[in-house]
Amino acid sequence: MLLCLSPTWLTKVPALGQPGEAVLLVSKAVSFHPGGLTFLDDFVPPRRATYFLAGLGLGPGRGREAAELARDLTCPTGASAELARLLEDRLLTRRLLAQHGGVAVPATLAFTYKPPALLRGGEAGPGLRLVELSGKEDQQTLVKEEVGAFLHSGALADALQVAVKLSGWRWRGRQALRVYPRVELSTVVDTVLALLEKLEEEESVLVEAVCPPARLPFPGSPPPGPELAVRICAVVCRTQGDRPLLSKVVCSVGREDRPLRHQSSLPQTLEAALARCGLGETGHVAVVRRRVKAAAEAALAAVLALEAGLSAEQRGGRRARTDFLGVDFALTVEGRVLTPVALELNSGLCLEACGALEGLWAAQRPRSAAEDAAAAPLVETMLRRSAHCLVEGKQLLLIGAGGVSKKFVWEAARDYGLKLHLVESDPNHFASQLVQTFIHFDVTEHRRDEENARLLAELVRARGLQLDGCFSYWDDCLVLTALLCQELGLPCSPPAAMRLAKQKSCTQLHLLRCHGPPWPAPSLHAVPCCPLESEADVEKAVHQVPLPGVMKLEFGAGAVGVRLVEDAPQCHEHFSQIARDLQGEADHPGIGLGWGNAMLLMEFIEGTEHDVDLVLFGGRLLAAFVSDNGPTRLPGFTETAACMPTGLAPEQEAQLVQAAFRCCLGCGLLDGVFNVELKLTGAGPKLIEINPRMGGFYLRDWILELYGVDLLLAAAMVACGLRPALPTHPRARGHLVGVMCLVSQHLQVLSSTASRETLQALHDQGLLRLNWLEEVLVPGEYEEPYCSVACAGSSPAEARLRLLGLCQGLGIDGPHYPVAHFLSHFK
């Protein structure tokens, strides 16, 4: 992130192949480094900007130059002069908030001269009256009638004063506030007529109610001194999926008879400001904060909806968006209810006020200044949009398309502008029509992966594909992908590391030998096991591994073939059954049988089960996401329920993250997105297995929903040799609790009360979060979950109760599938 203090440090260069757009180049900037170090850097050659945010203005000076620089760029921009001009038109934004946001605004009478197209026609909105003027002169009669009717109307409620002001970009911060008693009709009329003479096209004169300050009735006589009023300033940011998120609230307090302005009052916390006005009770503060949050987020939602209907020219460029918004509120009482009333929107003043408050407290905080920084969600949005810019147009080879659970890949690739080339065994796969190049190639015989990698490399060269990266999220294709990357000279973890992680017994036995340094060593997390290729191996293993134990396929996926075994006869019986039922890929496609059906026996570990999804780049941990799993259905270990974020204590969460990270490094996995399954025991985390690819089932969707981080995008960036910029300590924006539906347990309800159409409709209404994992309702002995159904909440308890009620109503919960028991781990 670079700070440019002069427009001369930046240059716009016409973009090749994109008429009318320009690339922004940085030749000089202030750079920032850990420890508070800053440098003034010169860049030769200049660096290409991947995101731009400027201080804007239409008047002379640097604001205008910055506005010109921001216009029609190829990189994302977080603001533009065109959008700021709309935001700071009080009349336009009040109408927008009142009509579409449901946000309280002051009762307003507007005289507008040749209004902009966005203000023409339609209803003005509650408490707003628009009077279109054909001219600026000889309007005395009309103005007197309209002002008289407004001052006597019920719209003003308890307001005793009105303010008269000009509305339009030109008047931003350049006029004195004129406040008059409501009873002085002639004075208000004269002021309106005087201001009408100054109007230009698309500008307005506003007469608005001055909201009386919120106060509580005091027993006895009122407190001495003037009444105090509070002005609330909220910063709200656009996050993943164009969802508004309140970032911070800061306040100022002053005399009621002296209107408060930015930069002329001391910033305070909401708690301190309300306490000064006699509203310091915890309940009052919570109510006000909740209402400010709802109103501020509704304001940004209304602005984003408006922007979505604007052309690129109206926005100031194809990539111009409003990434953050300041909303100023007055706090008043409407109908005996504390109500924040939106006065105006701004593009920087509220963020500046929050920064000033953070500066006051910075020296006294024991925790990181960034922990509660108002700009934190904005920075996340900057980095996310920058990442989108970096990957746009990248050419990626994808090995293995996957099934219905991976349908999101194709939509995401389109949204990110990725150019995908697919290698897939099924010539009729639906994804063959969704990619730039489709290469039909049998990748199911994994004993020939090295030969296949050479053949695929020749095919890629023969087709002239200029690839930026190659990756896979499909278990069967991970080793082949690593070998192919090696052939093509593309970034990836070494093939030996992928082989080690793919074969479960090799993973555990290798890590058992990793005693460090560094310490704690991976051996602390590994679990004793024995590989099984024959009945003789089984007989040997039952004397080496303590029973009960777990038998599973060496190269398996989806918990297919996993079983709890209590004694030697059960071990022999299960080994024989798998050898008979699951001999090759055709018996159960997609679970690794192309590697063979060898098994392993490992010690059964007591404890709670957890998933850790990691992003690694160059052997460094960039991000980690921990989720909790409910009790599995023994003896088969099918997943039942999950919760995110984890409910563990921070120390236990950190233990899991470090265990997963060290196990990956111990296997040589240095670059990529990995899913590590662990159990947390009394002695610490123990490894179940490493999946050297992006987490499956619902994990990518949940992490994107809760943290705004897309593991698919991160995997694509790492595959291209680009370091994803991710929050080191991501904060979840809610909680998700989900349960799996199984055909063997839910065939009847999945065909009736919880049909595909019913579940999809509930998902579309936002009542549940649905992830399809299989396409057809076909029961079988070796099954995988059919779908995941989840509910969101502001707390784990709220999400859990919603989910339990939903499952009871749909019939998913029952005596043979006790959802309450599966969710009991999350209390």
pLDDT, tens only, 667-693: 999 999 999 999 999 999 999 999 999
Question: Is the overall model pTM greater than 0.85, yes or no?
Answer: yes
DSSP 127-154: TEEEEEES-SSS-HHHHHHHHHHHHTSG
Q: Are residues 611 and 585 in the same domain?
A: no
Q: Are residues 129 and 269 in the same domain?
A: no
For residue 792, what pLDDT is reported?
96
pLDDT, tens only, 684-738: 999 999 999 999 999 999 999 999 999 999 999 999 999 999 987 788 989 999 9
Crossing angle (nearest 10°) for helices 495-502 and 478-488: 180
- 416 within a domain of the structure (yes/no): yes
Query: Residue 241: left if φ>0, alpha if ψ -120 to 50, beta else—which one?
Result: left
- 378 within a domain of the structure (yes/no): no
Instruction: Tell me the CA distances in angstroms from 338 to 102, 261, 461, 521, 561, one per residue in order.
Output: 16, 22, 68, 57, 60
Q: Are residues 514 and 542 in the same domain?
A: no
pLDDT, tens only, 29-38: 999 998 889 9
Query: Residue 200: left if φ>0, alpha if ψ -120 to 50, beta else—which one?
Result: beta
- 386 within a domain of the structure (yes/no): no
For residue 368, what pLDDT is reported?
45
CATH number, domain of 555, equals 3.30.1490.20
Q: Is the pLDDT of residue 337 over 90?
A: no
Q: Are residues 319 and 277 in the same domain?
A: yes
Number of domains in the chain: 7
- 376 within a domain of the structure (yes/no): no
pLDDT, tens only, 155-204: 888 888 999 988 887 777 667 778 899 999 999 999 999 999 888 888 88
Q: Are residues 27 and 61 in the same domain?
A: yes
Q: Which of 181, 177, 342 is nearest to 264 (CA)?
A: 177
Q: Which of 602, 623, 634 is nearest to 703 (CA)?
A: 623
| Confidence band for 370, pLDDT divided at 50, 70 and 90 | very low
433 burial type by CB count under 10 A (0-12 exposed, 13-18 middle, 19+ buried): exposed
472 Cβ contact list (under 8 Å, min separation 6): 398, 399, 400, 478, 480, 481, 693
Strand ranges inside 425-467, DSSP E: 437-440
* Mean pLDDT across the chain: 89
For residue 72, what pLDDT is reported?
94
- 119 within a domain of the structure (yes/no): yes
Crossing angle (nearest 10°) for helices 185-196 and 140-151: 130
Burial code (b: 16+ CB inside 10 Å, e: under 16) for 368-407 equals eeeeebbbbbbebbbbbbbbbbbbeebbbbbbbbbbebbb
For residue 218, what pLDDT is reported?
42
- SS3 category, 300: helix
- 690 within a domain of the structure (yes/no): yes
Q: Rounded CA gap, 197 and 809, in Å?
A: 66
φ/ψ of residue 496, rounded to 5: -60, -40
Tell me how crowded residue 409 is: count the other CB atoms within 10 A of its CB: 22
In eight-state DSSP terms, residue 94 is H
368 Cβ contact list (under 8 Å, min separation 6): none
User: What token pair was written down for 565?
Assistant: 């075994």
- 309 within a domain of the structure (yes/no): yes
Burial code (b: 16+ CB inside 10 Å, e: under 16) for 450-461 equals eebbeebbeebe
φ/ψ of residue 289, rounded to 5: -60, -40
Q: Of 560, 579, 604, which residue is a domain's last?
A: 604
Q: Are residues 599 and 611 in the same domain?
A: no
Name 22's bridge partners. 14, 73
Q: Are residues 267 and 280 in the same domain?
A: yes
In eight-state DSSP terms, residue 726 is -
For residue 424, what pLDDT is reported?
93
Q: Are residues 550 and 411 in the same domain?
A: no
Q: Are residues 412 and 484 in the same domain?
A: yes
Q: Are residues 533 and 523 in the same domain?
A: no
- 810 within a domain of the structure (yes/no): yes
Q: Are residues 615 and 506 in the same domain?
A: yes
Q: Rounded CA gap, 190 and 298, in Å?
A: 36
Q: Of 691, 723, 755, which residue is a domain's last?
A: 723
800 burial type by CB count under 10 A (0-12 exposed, 13-18 middle, 19+ buried): buried
Query: Residue 769: left if φ>0, alpha if ψ -120 to 50, beta else—which one?
Result: beta
| Confidence band for 414, pLDDT divided at 50, 70 and 90 | very high
pLDDT, tens only, 465-513: 999 999 999 888 999 999 999 999 999 999 999 999 999 999 999 999 9
Poorest-pLDDT segment among 57-66, 283-292, 496-505, 605-614: 57-66
Averaged over 324-352, what is the pLDDT? 88
- Secondary structure tally for the chain: helices H, strands E: 24, 29
Q: Which of 507, 464, 492, 504 is nearest to 399 (CA)?
A: 492
> CA-based angle 472:476:481, to the nearest 5?
40
Kindly state the percentage of the chain with pLDDT values over 90.
63
Q: Of 693, 723, 753, which residue is a domain's last?
A: 723
Q: Rounded CA gap, 440 and 91, in Å?
A: 59
Amino acid at 528: P
Peptide bond before residue 635 is cis, with ω within 30 degrees of 0: yes
**Structural domain containing residue 555:** 528-604
Instruction: Tell me the CA distances in angstroms from 148 to 143, 456, 485, one per residue in order.
Output: 8, 81, 77
Radius of gyration of the chain (CA): 31
Q: Are residues 23 and 172 in the same domain?
A: no
